[in-house]
């Protein structure tokens, strides 16, 4: 069970979105995030909803999965909504009792803000759901490659990321083993307050670190034995290459960006306060 | 030209106390001479701490000798300009299957070596396919290495080395962490490679059963080579082997005991069939 964990929660499927070049997905996700912030109108959000809906449909990732991805941000979401709701002033007052006042623009901002945050998380999780971790590191390496000119070790960072991804399941399994070994000798990880529990973790962390360093040492030797000497003169087994579909994806996203920009500016469309 | 040739090889490292002060030197390898002819299968035996792994690391220039010289395919391992050529000529497989797999997908891991050598993309795919087929792992090309058994991981590691098209493979206790099934899998894969691709194989191990087919066996103890010969010669010297804390294959042991009890069996029986044959011919 613990072996199946993949970081970035990749959802394997055969879809048009999965087949896109990772670079396309990274850039288009960024453009989508930008699109959420350059407009602030009901119609704009409707266009964004339509776009996001289509992408989700094409990606074949179940909506349930994507909604589940929202869980970690619920607190942040509630906090933002509440703060905006009560603290934004402007327009006529809708509700007023005691020190609490809800104004028209307060309601408007908080609702839009909530939608914006939800779409932000959904948009980026679509990217991680449809791109394998390796694809993501490859895409990032390629996109950030120009930074090499100012001495940022792009290849090394990408290599580190992919090795980390490879070792996450191994280290998790090891943690599991160490915990069981400690439990067999009477260690208690479940009772006591937070501080006591944190203290109980120390005997796990120490052997885990020692073994991680040993592994790192072995791996470095194995890599050297296989002639690894940095990114220079290295070829790729799976080089990233743009396909016609990738350009179409760029064009569609650009079109979407233009539409959402125009609609937010020039189409007067209001429903009550929104 | 010898594939691997060592003369008076010495490797010393500093012994340190708790504070890291040097309190002396240890000789892990002490005056070792080795010749390995191309295409042969050579086994190096020895118990823990005998220096056999240190010797293996010299063949891949992970360690360089502090005395004497090591030539791999005619290249001196101390020459920094030849470093990558040496490593390409002599591929190395290590003990721990988890700690030598770099890719998150089997085929990507096998492609890692050729990528480092700067092999063109089409050629990499061809080599990856060939080498996965050679070790019988082509079915698993798209699997995650985490889901493979130890023996399968070790076969992937061997494929990763083969993909670099080395003239010689050094296996440093590749079966030490595997169960008997995994051990058999790996040894079978190595044998197949040797026959099909005609690569030189140097197997470092402490399992006697694995060296029965070797052309030459070296036994190491305390940094020295103490015995050298064909498996049959080595295994007929049971008492000597025991003195070096080595086990002898069960069949050889049994034959030896029977011989001591007065049965007229030949020395150095290595396989079960041989023993059966010899016993049947007794009367």
Looking at the structure, tell me whether residues A188 and A222 fall in a common domain.
yes
Contact A169 B114 (CB under 8 A): no
Contacts of B101 in chain A (CB under 8 A): 166
pLDDT score for A5: 43
- Residue A1 resides in a domain: yes
pLDDT tens digits for range B210-243: 888 899 999 999 999 999 999 988 888 888 888 8
pLDDT of B185 higher than 80: yes
Contact A237 B121 (CB under 8 A): yes
pLDDT of B16 higher than 80: yes
pLDDT score for A9: 66
pLDDT score for A8: 53
Q: Could you tell me how far CA B79 lies from the centroid of its own chain?
A: 24
Contact A237 B161 (CB under 8 A): no
- A192: closest CA of chain B, how far (Å): 35
Please give, one letter per residue, the 3-state secondary structure of chain B. Answer: CCCEEEEEEEEEEEEECCCCCEEEEEEEEEEEEEEECCCCEEEEECCCCCCHHHHHHHHCCCCCCCEEEEEECCEECCCHHHHHHHHHHEEEECCCCHHHCCCCCHHHHHHHHHHHHCCCHHHHHHHHHHHHHHCCCHHHCCCCHHHCCHHHHHHHHHHHHHCCCCCEEEEECCCCCCCHHHHHHHHHHHHHHHHHHCCEEEEEECCHHHHCCCCEEEEEECCEEEEEECHHHHHCCHHHHHHCCCCCCHHHHHHHHHHHCCCCCCCCCCCHHHHHHHHHCCC
- Residue A146 resides in a domain: no
The pLDDT profile of chain A, 274 residues, written as one tens digit per residue, is: 344 444 456 787 889 999 999 999 999 999 999 999 888 888 899 999 999 999 999 999 888 888 887 888 889 999 999 998 888 887 788 888 878 888 888 888 899 999 999 999 999 889 988 988 788 888 999 999 899 899 889 999 988 888 888 888 888 889 999 989 988 988 887 777 888 888 888 888 999 999 999 999 999 999 999 999 888 888 888 889 999 999 999 999 999 999 998 887 777 777 777 7
Contact B87 A227 (CB under 8 A): yes
Looking at the structure, tell me whether residues A117 and A10 fall in a common domain.
yes
Contacts of A162 in chain B (CB under 8 A): 104
**More confidently predicted of B104 and B10:** B10
Count the Cβ atoms, other than its own, within 10 Å of residue A101: 16
pLDDT score for A6: 43
pLDDT tens digits for range A20-39: 999 999 999 999 999 998 88
Looking at the structure, tell me whether residues A101 and A177 fall in a common domain.
no
Looking at the structure, tell me whether residues A188 and A250 fall in a common domain.
no
Looking at the structure, tell me whether residues A35 and A106 fall in a common domain.
yes
**What's the rounded Cα separation, in Å, for the pair A205 and A179?**
10
Contact A162 B94 (CB under 8 A): no
Contact B87 A225 (CB under 8 A): yes
pLDDT of B111 higher than 90: yes
Contact B101 A215 (CB under 8 A): no
In angstroms, the Cα distances linking B221 to B32, B65, B66 are 11, 18, 19
> pLDDT exceeding 90 applies to what percent of chain B?
56
Looking at the structure, tell me whether residues A234 and A267 fall in a common domain.
no
- Residue A260 resides in a domain: yes
Contacts of A170 in chain B (CB under 8 A): 98, 146
Q: Which of A163, A218, A229 sits opposite B116 (nearest CB)?
A: A229
3-state secondary structure of A138: helix
pLDDT score for A99: 80
Q: Which domain does A178 fall in, by range?
A: 153-239
pLDDT tens digits for range B147-173: 899 999 999 999 999 999 999 999 999
Looking at the structure, tell me whether residues A7 and A124 fall in a common domain.
yes
Looking at the structure, tell me whether residues A165 and A87 fall in a common domain.
no
pLDDT score for A2: 44
- Residue A139 resides in a domain: no
- Chain A interface with B: residues with Cβ < 8 Å: 3, 133-134, 162-163, 165-166, 169-170, 215, 218-219, 221-229, 233-239
Contact B164 A226 (CB under 8 A): yes
The mean pLDDT of B161-186, rounded to a whole number, is 92
- Residue A157 resides in a domain: yes
Looking at the structure, tell me whether residues A18 and A102 fall in a common domain.
yes
Looking at the structure, tell me whether residues A175 and A103 fall in a common domain.
no
pLDDT score for B248: 82
Q: Which of B104, B112, B144 to mutate to test the interface with A (most CBs of A within 10 A)?
A: B104
Name the token pair of B205: 């191990």
Contacts of B158 in chain A (CB under 8 A): none
Contact B161 A226 (CB under 8 A): yes
Contact A235 B118 (CB under 8 A): yes
Contacts of A164 in chain B (CB under 8 A): none
- B146: closest CA of chain A, how far (Å): 7
Looking at the structure, tell me whether residues A49 and A164 fall in a common domain.
no
- Residue A136 resides in a domain: no
- A238: closest CA of chain B, how far (Å): 7
* ipTM associated with this complex: 0.86
- Residue A39 resides in a domain: yes
Contact A236 B113 (CB under 8 A): no
Looking at the structure, tell me whether residues A125 and A260 fall in a common domain.
yes
- A135: closest CA of chain B, how far (Å): 11
pLDDT score for A243: 92
Contact B121 A236 (CB under 8 A): yes
Contacts of B164 in chain A (CB under 8 A): 226-227
pLDDT tens digits for range B18-58: 887 888 888 899 989 999 999 999 999 988 888 899 999 99
pLDDT tens digits for range A79-118: 999 998 888 887 788 888 878 888 888 888 899 999 999 9
Contacts of A234 in chain B (CB under 8 A): 115-116, 118
- Residue A147 resides in a domain: no
Considering its fold, how many domains does chain A have in total? 2
pLDDT score for A7: 45
């Amino acid at each position: 069970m613990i072996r199946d964990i993949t970081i970035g929660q990749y959802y394997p499927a055969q879809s048009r979105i999965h087949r896109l070049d990772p670079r396309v997905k990274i850039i288009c996700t960024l453009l989508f995030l930008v699109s959420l912030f350059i407009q602030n109108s009901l119609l704009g959000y409707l266009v964004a909803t339509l776009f996001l809906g289509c992408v989700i449909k094409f990606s074949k990732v179940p909506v349930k999965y994507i909604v589940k991805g929202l869980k970690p941000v619920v607190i942040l979401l509630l906090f933002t909504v509440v703060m905006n709701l009560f603290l934004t002033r402007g327009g006529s007052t809708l509700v007023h009792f005691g020190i609490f006042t809800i104004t028209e623009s307060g309601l408007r901002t908080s609702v839009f803000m909530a939608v914006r945050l939800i779409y932000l998380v959904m948009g980026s999780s679509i990217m991680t759901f449809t791109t394998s971790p390796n694809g993501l590191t490859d895409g990032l390496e390629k996109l950030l490659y120009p930074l090499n000119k100012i001495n940022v070790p792009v290849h090394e960072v990408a290599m580190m990321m992919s090795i980390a991804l490879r070792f996450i399941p191994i280290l998790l399994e090891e943690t599991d083993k160490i915990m069981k070994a400690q439990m067999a000798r009477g260690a208690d990880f479940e009772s006591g307050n937070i501080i006591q529990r944190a203290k109980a973790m120390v005997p796990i962390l120490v052997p885990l670190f020692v073994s991680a360093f040993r592994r790192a040492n072995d791996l470095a030797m194995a890599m050297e034995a296989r002639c690894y000497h940095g990114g220079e003169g290295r070829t790729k087994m799976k080089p990233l290459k743009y396909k016609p579909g990738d350009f179409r994806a760029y064009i569609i996203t650009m079109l979407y960006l233009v539409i959402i920009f125009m609609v937010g500016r020039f189409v007067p469309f209001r429903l009550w306060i929104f | 030209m010898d594939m691997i040739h060592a003369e008076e090889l010495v490797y010393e490292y500093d012994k340190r106390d708790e504070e890291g002060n040097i309190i002396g030197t240890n000789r892990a390898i002490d005056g070792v001479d080795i010749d390995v002819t191309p295409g042969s299968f050579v086994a190096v035996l020895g118990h823990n701490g005998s220096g056999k792994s240190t010797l293996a690391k010299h063949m891949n220039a992970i360690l360089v000798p502090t005395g004497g010289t090591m030539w791999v395919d005619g290249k001196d391992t101390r020459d920094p300009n030849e470093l990558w050529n040496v490593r390409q000529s002599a591929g190395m497989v290590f003990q721990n299957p988890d700690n030598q797999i770099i890719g998150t997908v089997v085929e990507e891991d096998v492609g890692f070596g050729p990528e480092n050598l700067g092999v063109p993309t089409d050629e990499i795919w061809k080599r990856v396919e060939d080498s996965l087929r050679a070790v019988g792992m082509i079915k698993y090309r798209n699997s995650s290495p985490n889901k493979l058994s130890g023996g399968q991981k070790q076969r992937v590691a061997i494929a990763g080395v083969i993909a670099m098209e080395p003239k010689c493979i050094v296996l440093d206790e590749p079966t030490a962490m595997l169960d008997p099934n995994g051990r058999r899998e790996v040894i079978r894969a190595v044998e197949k490679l040797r026959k099909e691709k005609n690569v030189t194989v140097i197997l470092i191990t402490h399992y006697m059963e694995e060296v029965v087919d070797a052309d030459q066996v070296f036994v190491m103890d305390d940094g020295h080579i103490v015995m050298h010969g064909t498996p049959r010669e080595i295994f007929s010297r049971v008492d000597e082997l025991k003195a070096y804390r080595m086990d002898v294959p069960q069949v050889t042991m049994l034959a030896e005991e029977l011989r001591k009890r007065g049965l007229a069996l030949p020395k150095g029986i290595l396989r079960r069939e041989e023993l059966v044959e010899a016993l049947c011919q007794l009367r």
